[in-house]
Amino acid sequence: MIENTPRNPYHADPDDRTALLAAPFAGRSAILGRLYRHFNDPAWRTAVAVLGGRRMGKSALLLALPGAFRETHVGAVVSLAHAPDDLTVDWILALAEAATLATARRGFSIRRLDDLPPPGDTSDEAFTWFAEQFLPALFGILRSIMRLVLLLDDAHLLVASVKQERLPAHTVAFLAGLLRDFPELDMVLTLDAEREAELDALIPLIAPDDPLRLAPLELDDTGWLLQQPIRGLYAVPDDTAAAVQRATGGLPALTQQFGYHLFQQWSAQPDLNAFTPEHIKALTPQVFASAAPDFQVAWNRLPAAEKIVLAALSSVLYRDPLRHVDASTLESWIVESDARLDIPAINAALRGLAYRAWVETTADGVRLSAGLAHTWLLDNATPDKLPRLSRRRRTGRSASERTSDTDSSSDGAGGLARRVRVPTMALVAGVLIVAVALMLWVALSITGGGARDGAAEVVPTVTLAATE
Residue ranges of the chain with per-residue pLDDT less than 70 = 1-4, 389-468
Whole-number pLDDT of residue 152: 97
Whole-number pLDDT of residue 44: 86
Whole-number pLDDT of residue 139: 97
Whole-number Cα distances in Å, 211 to 56, 83, 207, 214:
15, 24, 7, 10
Contact 314, 374 (CB under 8 A): yes
**What element of type H or E holds 48?**
strand 48-52
pLDDT in tens, 299-315: 999 999 999 999 999 99
Whole-number pLDDT of residue 435: 55
In the chain, the amino acid numbered 336 is E
3-class DSSP state for residue 300?
helix
- Alpha helices per DSSP H over 228-324: 238-248, 252-268, 277-301, 304-319
Question: 302-419 belongs to which CATH class?
Answer: mainly alpha
Q: Which of 286, 330, 283 is nearest to 306 (CA)?
A: 330
Q: Which CATH number is associated with domain 28-213?
A: 3.40.50.300
Order of all β-strands in the sheet with 212-213: 73-79, 147-153, 185-192, 48-52, 212-213
Whole-number pLDDT of residue 441: 47
Mean pLDDT of the chain: 84
Whole-number pLDDT of residue 3: 52
Question: Where along the chain do its domains lie?
Answer: 28-213, 219-300, 302-419, 422-468
Whole-number pLDDT of residue 409: 36
Contact 149, 106 (CB under 8 A): no
Q: Which of 108, 86, 109, 110 is nearest to 96 (CA)?
A: 110
Rounded Cα distance, 372 and 445, in Å: 75
In the chain, the amino acid numbered 438 is L
332 — phi, psi (to 5°)? -65, -45
Whole-number pLDDT of residue 292: 95
Whole-number pLDDT of residue 265: 96
Whole-number pLDDT of residue 336: 84
